[in-house]
């Protein structure tokens, strides 16, 4: 190449940038490159070379400038211009049909409705803002109201346009645009990344979603840049449409002049035109078409380069969708249908016993590690003897595995045809593997129990429970620290926690000055926890959170609770004779009296304060029993439970015929299946939260 003058260099750089952008668009958006990678690389290197020789010609939106600047100390929080919503979930065809009926009822029976079906990309939600066609801001969803500023990191994602197609200032580019999409790591790249990490001795990512989130939330954008992240965009949150002088923000489908399109499919095409990669979609015009398109997507998704956990159904008519409004945090006109759990085969290598805090021995299958629904699974609970017998699981068996509610690994069945004769039945031991105490199965119970009075495994679980979030909430006292305390012989029960010194904690492995101090502070703060939490923390059999609240409500002090007779206990709502008996028996155990004496001496207050949620007899949920499964948006589990109690309802941990409704949040567990089985009413978490926060209607 001859030596360029600055003028020639400027012209050449401009041409190269345009050409490179065009090739990126063809590659990332149209998925139809027109030149081989090697030629693209040549153009890119030529541009790099020119910019190196003429640094003054470098522009911030040049394709070479995706990575810039240095490591930032933290991500800045930025409030969203409008809340970032989520979708209601459906898990069965029946729920999809019900959705279609709701839409049709709203639209009018005779009006034809077109549904758009898109894959639900299992990645990380991002919001991008463009000002005068240039990428100005990239935010994570955060809590829906405030996100984290990840601009420098999203810039490194090559599928994200740094500038919109068409040149800034031209009429075809919106003056202001905010879009929402999903950043993901392709499945192949995820496998490759984990292989590299394994070789480097680094911890592995559980699934592509975590890998994408971990990659995007890197303080050093150079690390993000090395991860082959991709993105797809599906929503215009706000826009001043090209050529629109009124400044009206899209989406305002009521004003066709202000929006380039009145349909969802039109929006996707429009986004594509601006340079955004968009998901593939199909359309359906009836319930039956919708159902058949769901099964087509279920087949097709395996061939997609990214993980999907479902599909998203939207209305093509944006004006109709807008008129349907919202329930809580979700638009009524959209639905996320989650695919039934993926099933895989694996082998049972062993069956071991885990000792719980009440001495229950839970058989757990150790599995040949296998990938299912996005993560690698190597164990699954077998619950109890009856389950092992019913499913006839033996060591050495080949089994079908799935994740219940897409989270909890579960053995569905044994493939008996694959038995070789070498399989071994599991036999219950007579003594506890942890302490040698006698193991018994009490009449009428499914569980085997270790009856050892000083079983170290039970003590470990008791301490973990005592410190857990819903009990005494001692931050920093997790399983690892509990193990270290027990190994060092520093605690014999939870009461001993209160006499620990910072020095003693510092002497434990992996504990520094700071963490020791923090832990001492956390233990100290737990002295103020109210009575209900202390009763729960004691871990008395049958006394769950809900019973603890009822007991605290009735007795108002630890002493009154300790002195109450069995009949008095059994009269408390939520407490039957079985629980009353369990309380009486536990209370009189020497280890428990000693523990309580220590707690009192340590100054654990166990007070009932004004804000202790009291039952309001006339509350709107009076007489109803609720079960919660999965995460709630914008509310902790505890807050939700307190709200239910405040309104006179009862919270239970298991679903039965007596359950009034199950509140279902993100990643629900097997309780949801049970509710469906029993035909119990299902309330989407968003709806509950809206009600609880006084925004929605009664549930
Ligand atoms: S539409 C009002 N479309 O799924 C909500 N969401 O709760 C608009 N997601 O975290 C969302 N693929 O980030 C939509 N094709 C798609 C999607 C999608 C993935 C995510 C979204 C959100 C969750 C739904």
Which atom, in ligand 1's list, is nearest to the CA of 331? 2
Say what the pLDDT of residue 615 is: 39
Please give the DSSP secondary-structure letter assigned to residue 342. Answer: P
Q: In this model, does residue 616 exceed pLDDT 50? A: no
Mean pLDDT of 283-309: 90
Please give the DSSP secondary-structure letter assigned to residue 203. Answer: P
Instruction: State the span(s) of the chain assigned CATH 2.40.50.140.
Output: 343-418
Contact 263, 277 (CB under 8 A): no
H or E element, residue 378: strand 375-381
Find out whether the beta carbon of 331 lies less than 6 Å from any atom of ligand 1: yes
- The residue whose two tokens read 């592995």 is 204
Q: What is the CATH number of domain 531-601?
A: 1.10.150.20
CATH class for the domain made up of 343-418: mainly beta
Please give the DSSP secondary-structure letter assigned to residue 183. Answer: E
Q: How far is the CA of 678 from the centre of ligand 1 (A)?
A: 30
Considering the candidates 42, 120, 338, 492, report the single residue annotated as catalytic: 120
What is the average pLDDT value for the chain, to the nearest integer? 86
Q: In this model, does residue 171 exceed pLDDT 70? A: no
Q: Which of 519, 606, 529 is nearest to 562 (CA)?
A: 606
Instruction: State the span(s) of the chain assigned CATH 1.10.287.610.
Output: 6-66
Q: How far apart are CA 509 and CA 511, in angstroms?
A: 6
Say what the pLDDT of residue 193 is: 87
pLDDT confidence bin for 628, thresholds 50/70/90: very high
Q: In this model, does residue 166 exceed pLDDT 80? A: no
Mean pLDDT of 82-89: 89
Contact 345, 398 (CB under 8 A): yes
Q: How far apart are CA 343 and CA 54, in angstroms?
A: 58
Q: In this model, does residue 529 exceed pLDDT 80? A: yes
* Range in 341-350, 373-382, 618-627 with the lowest mean pLDDT: 618-627
Tell me phi and psi for residue 485, to 5 degrees. -65, -40
Q: In this model, does residue 191 exceed pLDDT 50? A: yes
Sign of the Cα torsion 391, 392, 394, 400 reads: negative
Mean pLDDT of 432-445: 87
Nearby residues of 466 by Cβ (< 8 Å), 6 or more positions away? 472, 474, 494, 497, 537, 538, 539
Residue with the smallest CA separation from ligand 1 atom 18 is 120
Find out whether the beta carbon of 337 lies less than 6 Å from any atom of ligand 1: no
Residue with the smallest CA separation from ligand 1 atom 4 is 120
Which string of DSSP letters, residue by residue, matches 567-602?
Answer: HHHHTSTT--HHHHHHHHHHHTSHHHHHHHHHHHHT
Find out whether the beta carbon of 125 lies less than 6 Å from any atom of ligand 1: yes
Q: Which of 610, 604, 590 is nearest to 558 (CA)?
A: 604
Residues 231-264: pLDDT tens digits? 999 999 988 877 665 555 555 444 544 466 789 9
- Tell me the residue ranges of DSSP E strands in 427-570: 439-441, 448-450
- Domain 625-692 annotated CATH 3.40.50.2300: no
Instruction: State the span(s) of the chain assigned CATH 3.30.470.30.
Output: 89-338
Instruction: State the span(s) of the chain assigned CATH 3.40.50.10190.
Output: 625-692
H or E element, residue 189: helix 187-199
Q: What is the CATH number of domain 89-338?
A: 3.30.470.30
Counting residues of the chain whose pLDDT is more than 70, the rounded percentage is: 91
Q: In this model, does residue 578 exceed pLDDT 90? A: no
* Range in 200-214, 543-557, 564-578 with the lowest mean pLDDT: 200-214
Residue with the smallest CA separation from ligand 1 atom 17 is 120
What's the CATH number of domain 6-66, 1.10.10.10, 3.90.190.20, 1.10.8.100, 1.10.287.610?
1.10.287.610
Q: Which of 280, 152, 165 is nearest to 218 (CA)?
A: 152
Mean pLDDT of 40-44: 92
Say what the pLDDT of residue 698 is: 52
Pull the structure tokens for residue 275: 């340079």
Residue with the smallest CA separation from ligand 1 atom 8 is 86
Looking at mean pLDDT, say which of 55-69, 593-607, 648-662 comes out highest: 593-607
Looking at per-residue confidence, does 463 or 511 come out higher?
A: 463
Say what the pLDDT of residue 249 is: 52
Q: In this model, does residue 617 exceed pLDDT 50? A: no
Say what the pLDDT of residue 441 is: 87
Q: How far is the CA of 235 from the centre of ligand 1 (A)?
A: 9
Mean pLDDT of 48-66: 90
Say what the pLDDT of residue 253 is: 44
Looking at per-residue confidence, does 617 or 316 come out higher?
A: 316
Say what the pLDDT of residue 47 is: 94
Residue with the smallest CA separation from ligand 1 atom 13 is 125
In the chain, the N- to C-terminal Cα span, in Å, equals 73
Residue with the smallest CA separation from ligand 1 atom 21 is 125
What's the CATH number of domain 456-528, 1.10.150.20, 3.40.190.10, 1.10.10.10, 3.40.50.740?
1.10.150.20
Find out whether the beta carbon of 121 lies less than 6 Å from any atom of ligand 1: yes
Say what the pLDDT of residue 697 is: 46
Find out whether the beta carbon of 336 lies less than 6 Å from any atom of ligand 1: yes
- The residue whose two tokens read 């190269």 is 16
- Name residue 348's beta-bridge partners: 367
Cis peptide before 251 (omega within 30 of 0): yes
Q: How far is the CA of 319 from the centre of ligand 1 (A)?
A: 19
For residue 689, the number of C-alpha atoms closer than 13 Å in the C-beta half-sphere is: 22
Q: Is 120 one of the catalytic residues?
A: yes
Mean pLDDT of 173-185: 92
Contact 400, 368 (CB under 8 A): no
Q: Which of 80, 164, 174, 171 is nearest to 125 (CA)?
A: 80
Q: In what order do the strands lie in the sheet with 650-652?
A: 650-652, 625-629, 661-664, 681-684
Looking at per-residue confidence, does 329 or 118 come out higher?
A: 118
Looking at per-residue confidence, does 135 or 261 come out higher?
A: 135
Find out whether the beta carbon of 308 lies less than 6 Å from any atom of ligand 1: no
Q: In this model, does residue 609 exceed pLDDT 70? A: no
Say what the pLDDT of residue 583 is: 93
For residue 503, the number of C-alpha atoms closer than 13 Å in the C-beta half-sphere is: 0
Q: How far apart are CA 675 and CA 654, in angstroms?
A: 10
Say what the pLDDT of residue 68 is: 63
Q: How far is the CA of 612 from the centre of ligand 1 (A)?
A: 38
Say what the pLDDT of residue 135 is: 95
Q: At what angle do helices 287-300 and 93-107 cross, to 10 degrees?
A: 140
Q: How far apart are CA 460 and CA 694, in angstroms?
A: 41
Find out whether the beta carbon of 87 lies less than 6 Å from any atom of ligand 1: yes
Which of 117, 182, 315, 334 to probe ligand 1 with, by most ligand atoms within 8 A of CB?
Answer: 182
User: 371 in helix, strand or coil?
Assistant: strand
Mean pLDDT of 405-418: 83
């Amino acid at each position: 190449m001859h030596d360029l003058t600055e003028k020639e260099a400027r012209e050449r750089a401009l041409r190269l940038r345009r050409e490179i952008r065009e090739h990126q668009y063809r590659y990332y958006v149209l998925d139809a490159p027109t030149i081989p990678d090697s030629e693209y690389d040549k153009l890119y290197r030529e541009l790099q070379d020119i910019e190196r020789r003429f640094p003054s010609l470098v522009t911030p939106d040049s394709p070479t400038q995706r990575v810039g600047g240095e490591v930032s100390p933290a991500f800045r929080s930025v409030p969203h211009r409008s809340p970032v919503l989520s979708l209601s979930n459906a898990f069965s065809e029946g729920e999809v049909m019900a959705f279609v009926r709701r839409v049709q009822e709203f639209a009018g029976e005779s009006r034809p409705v077109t549904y758009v079906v898109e894959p639900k990309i299992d990645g990380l939600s991002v919001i991008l803002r463009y000002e005068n066609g240039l990428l100005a801001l990239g935010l994570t969803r955060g809590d829906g109201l405030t996100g984290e500023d990840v601009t420098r990191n999203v810039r490194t994602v090559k599928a994200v346009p740094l500038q919109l197609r068409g040149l800034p200032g031209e009429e075809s580019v919106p003056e202001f645009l905010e879009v929402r999409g999903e950043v993901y790591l392709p499945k192949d790249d995820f496998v490759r990344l984990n292989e590299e990490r394994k070789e480097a001795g680094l911890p592995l990512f559980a699934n592509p979603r975590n890998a994408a989130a971990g990659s995007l939330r890197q303080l050093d954008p150079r690390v993000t840049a090395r991860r082959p992240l991709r993105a797809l965009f599906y929503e215009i949150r706000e826009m001043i449409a090209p050529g629109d002088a009124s400044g009206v923000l899209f989406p305002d489908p009521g004003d066709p002049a202000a929006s380039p399109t009145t349909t969802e499919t039109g929006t996707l095409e429009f986004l594509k035109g601006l340079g955004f990669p968009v998901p593939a979609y199909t359309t359906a015009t009836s319930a039956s078409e919708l159902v058949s398109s769901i099964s087509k997507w279920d087949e097709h998704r395996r061939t997609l380069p990214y993980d999907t956990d479902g599909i998203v159904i939207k209305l093509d008519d944006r004006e109709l969708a807008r008129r349907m409004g919202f329930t809580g945090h979700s638009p009524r006109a959209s639905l996320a249908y989650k695919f039934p759990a993926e099933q895989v085969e694996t082998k049972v290598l062993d069956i071991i016993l885990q000792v719980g805090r009440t001495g229950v021995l839970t058989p757990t299958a150790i599995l040949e590690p296998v990938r299912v629904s996005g993560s690698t699974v190597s164990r699954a609970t077998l619950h109890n003897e009856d389950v092992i017998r019913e499913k006839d699981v033996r060591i050495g068996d080949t089994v079908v595995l799935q994740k219940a509610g897409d989270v909890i690994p579960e053995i569905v069945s044994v493939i008996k045809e694959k038995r070789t004769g070498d399989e071994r039945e599991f036999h219950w031991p007579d003594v506890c593997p942890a302490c040698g105490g006698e193991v018994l199965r009490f009449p009428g119970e499914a569980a085997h129990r270790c009856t050892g009075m000083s079983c170290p495994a039970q003590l470990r679980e008791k301490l973990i429970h005592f410190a857990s979030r819903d009990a005494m909430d001692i931050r920093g006292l997790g399983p690892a620290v509990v193990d270290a305390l027990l190994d060092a012989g520093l605690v014999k029960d939870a009461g001993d926690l209160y006499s620990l010194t910072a020095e003693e904690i510092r002497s434990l492995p992996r504990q520094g000055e700071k963490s020791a101090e923090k832990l001492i502070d956390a233990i100290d703060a737990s002295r103020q926890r109210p009575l209900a939490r202390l009763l729960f923390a004691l871990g008395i059999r049958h006394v769950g959170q809900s019973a603890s609240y009822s007991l605290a409500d009735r007795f108002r002090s630890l002493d009154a609770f300790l002195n109450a007779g069995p009949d008095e206990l059994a009269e408390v709502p939520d407490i039957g004779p079985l629980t009353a008996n369990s309380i009486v028996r536990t209370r009189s155990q020497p280890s428990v009296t000693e523990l309580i004496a220590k707690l009192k001496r340590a100054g654990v207050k166990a007070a009932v304060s004004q804000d202790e949620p009291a039952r309001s007899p006339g509350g709107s949920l009076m007489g109803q029993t609720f079960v919660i499964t999965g995460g709630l948006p914008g509310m902790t589990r505890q807050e939700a439970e307190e709200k239910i109690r405040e309104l006179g309802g009862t919270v239970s941990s298991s679903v039965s015929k007596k359950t009034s409704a199950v509140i279902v949040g993100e990643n629900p567990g097997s309780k949801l299946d049970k509710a469906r089985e029993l035909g119990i009413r299902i309330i989407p978490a968003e709806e509950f939260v809206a009600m609880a926060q006084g925004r929605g209607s009664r549930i």
